[in-house]
Amino acid sequence: MTQIAALSTTVTGSGPGLLLAHGAGGSIEGNYAPILPALAEHHTVVAPDYPGSGATPRATDGMSLDGLADAVVAAADGAGLETFTLVGYSLGTLVSVRAAARHPERVRGLVLTAGLARPDNRLLASLDLWRKLLAEGDLQAFARFVALSGFGEDFFNAVPREELGAFYDMIAGGVPAGAADQAALVEVADTSGDLPGISVPTLVIATAQDTLVSPAHSRLLADRIAGAEYAEIATGHVPMAERPEEWQKLITDFLGRHGL
């Protein structure tokens, strides 16, 4: 297992622990900023950025899922959290499930949004294109592909045509240095064997209009994790942009119901 150096981490709020795990090609700021204030209102929120995202330097020796899961848990250690609920998005759902499998005594609950246990052929094809465009440095083409695959049809089509250029520039400007490394990790990750061992309260949130990570993946997670709750949001892969208030309410209501 490749060990990962300490992750740049922000800690906000007070109360029971919440440990955040962001998506590939994202960051804590990019994936959680709209809902962080609500999460921190009643919780200590520990928010680490993966290698190559935020202020965390890019990994020099690659990443493994075990190594990344352990590094995220180490961020909780650094903040003084003994136990916590993991809130994972996209790649972060793989990280969260693996962290729960490797550190079961630490994890009190799971919230898994737009997630998966292993990539299907459609996602593998998308990740191949991601990595090719990033390797070529074609961030404008990458931005258009992200817009096509990441956002729901209604949301994307609602962008005024005269603002499309700025929309693509915003996406291109937010691509972290570690995006290709993180995409490569999704390609080989598989937590299928971990799911039957999960016994903590779990909420699975499917993004129902997602064409990047099919909502069928979320249904599988909910089916394979005993007692998991299941909810859907009518968005593409990025609920934090399309329906942040609805996403936030699903999470905070779940935490409140289970005393997490």
Catalytic positions, written as ranges: 90, 210, 237
Q: How close are the terminal C-alpha atoms of the chain, in Å?
A: 31
Could you give the angle at the alpha carbon of 29 between the alpha carbons of 128 and 98, nearest 5°? 60
Tokens coding 71: 């590094």
Q: Is the dihedral of CA 126, 152, 169, 160 positive or negative?
A: positive
Residue 205 CB coordination number (10 Å): 28
Q: What letter would DSSP give residue 197?
A: G
Spell 143-176 as b/e; 16+ CB within 10 A means b.
bbbbbebbbbeebbeeeeeeeeeebbeebbebbb
